[in-house]
Structure 1
Amino acid sequence: MRGRLCHHARDGWKRARAAMACFVVSSVAHAAEPNWSLSVDQDLRYSSWSGTRGFPASGSTAAGAGTQVYAPLTIQASGQPLENVKVDLLGRGGYVWSRQSTPGLTGSVTTTTDTVVSGTATYLGIPGIQPFVSMSVNLPSGTTALYGSAANARMDQDIVDLATFGEGLNIGPTVGVNLPIGEQLIVTLSSGYTWRGAYRMEALLDPASTEPQATTLVGPGRVAAQSASLGYQLANLTLLVSASYARETATYLDHISSYALGDRYTLSSTAGYAWTQSSSTTFTVSWTNAEKNRVLDPDLMKIIPESFLSNSAVYRYRLEHSFATGGWTIAPMVNFMRRDQNSYNPITQQFIPAKTRMGTGGSVQYAIREGMSLKASAERFWINENLTALTPDLRVRGWIAMFGGSVKF
């Protein structure tokens, strides 16, 4: 008999919420399942902030503010078209309105987002091992070039859901294996490679020029990623630990090799404990870090390691406790993030300041009937930034709210 263990927690670090973890614990045989299931999830997410300066803080000395409304739609299908083959399909798209109203940095954009489609096929016919292959494709249905003041609608990635609004055609295959070990433990290993298509971004605007704003052809680097995870359950305790490593090739700007992002590392761990059938606590911690980028040396005409580290390490912590009664589930939470130093994202041409971020709030979900539910969440956050030792601390305050619903057929 195969037991399925799937715990979901709402994650409000960079988004109002996202799935925390899901893993399967399997034995040799498996039970019959419905042929196909389909679920549709529609959200409306709202982010609003105000601070002592706008974004980037170096662009204006005035007090800043911004708002973003993001409506993602997710459709998922799962089934077993063959006795020993399980297939999972996913499609996600959406619409976004983003506006910064800081004096001197005012700008807005309204656009569809890129569309992501993916599929995973897992083979269940080998005792003690479950190989799988997946494919993820990013379809460029969003907007990459923002002309004039519209570029100011890109805001801090630690505050809003979307810091950018599109990229090129990306194709990312992954192969891996699930290794169920007994009834309580599963190990997953995977390796992926993403080919990233070119797209155009706006070039820096020259206020003195009367010519139309030019664009830059961006040829993003390809990404190789390796990951490993371990899931374990003992009685009421559930543990999930994962690690990943990614290395990227050079990015070309107008066909010139210009930079390569530093190798990236991610570690995360989630612990959940069910106190009763209707009450549980979940704690999640993660760490991401990157080595030095490689940048173009104009004299040598090749990319070399940068002279100083322009990437930051990010630490995130989240504690959530859920209560369930009748058709209601209520989950208060608190989270904390620390970005240890200033960094620069050459892809979005954005300076990301060092900061600490504290948030508190909660979520509520109501099951209308089997397979149909409504959900809502709200979070109040406080951010403190310090650009340099000579600048005063910058403060940002804001709200993140979400309302949505899901239907499963």
Structure 2
Amino acid sequence: MTQLIHTELVRLECKKWASEGINIKSEVRDSRNGYKAGALTAGMKHSYVEGCEFVVIFDADFQPEPDFLERTVPFLAHNSEIALVQAGWKYVNADECCMTRIQEMSLNYHFAVEQKSGSSIHGFFGFNGTAGVWRISALNEAGGWQDRTIVEDMDLAVRAHLNGWKFVFVDNIKVSNELPSSFRAYRYQQHRWSCGPANLFKKMAMEIIHKENVTLWKKAYLVYNFFFVRKIVVHIFTFVFYCLILPATVIFPEIEVPKWTTIYIPATITILNAIATPKSFYLILYWILFENVMAMHRSKGTLIGLLETSRVKEWVVTQKLGEYNTLRENLISHYSFPERLRWREIMVGMYLFICGYYDFVFGKTYLYVYLFLQSTAFFIVGVGYIGMSVPS
């Protein structure tokens, strides 16, 4: 019913603008085959696309400014080597709860470290799937959108980059959008964002290595740095090391862990995140603890992508509440306590708590401070007291 209402609202809005002489159309597919990649491919097959040079993509919750195209298209019009202009994001509900503030910190760090830095050195960065303008000729040359994974945006960007096309990230153009407010929605989103890249890595690694007329440096960067380190190792290492191995060192003191893995690298990453979102500096401890909890879900998604298990192509639309939803208070769901339990988080929390208690009683370090805090974070998520609780 909700989807039908949204479709009708879009149709009425398009009809209003068409009555004023604007060339605008609304198209709806009969199925979800291929998910977003299938929808984009179907959209590009319409006859009116033949006369177009560029295509702009927005997810449903994105709200671009009226001058968005005036500020982005000139990059493409004046440089024939550019295939994509990617705009930044800003969030209409960043202050809604602690979970949305933490998401803002992580995304600001992503834009600053991966996309802004990549663009500044004319290097590769992934397309975010929205708030971007593509040159249609570059899109078609790369083979268009493919539904072999659930990250059609990253897939297209890698293929276009291998064909020699350049991307531009414009930091001073930001498009308003909404962060997922419930942990359930955020968890599904993070599954897609971790499972998809890992699965794409499995499918494209050899394709990248054997691609002709591509420098060895570019191949090494894509395979090792972009995919292997950032999309696979980071997730698995964060959870396995900080939530499994490090706690075990208090029980097995013969396991020696170098300080650079426990202090220097985490401190550097923490400082970079604080710089990216200075207004949320006071939440940096919560960010560390929550990111370690999410590393468990991201690790699971990464392994699903690599092993191609049953959930490898699971696509659940990220639930958003809407910036101006006057019925938000009525949407709050009062689940009974047992329905909110997440046993994986609770079990990891128990493991951390036991290790912390052992260190507190028998240990000679202060690692129990971290272990008690991290176990508390797992317990909070485990009993559902994180984000907004909304109906399915």
| Fold match (TM-score > 0.5) | no
TM-score, scaled relative to structure 2: 0.27
Greater share of residues in helix: 2
Q: Which has the higher strand share?
A: 1
* Structure-1-length-normalised TM-score: 0.26
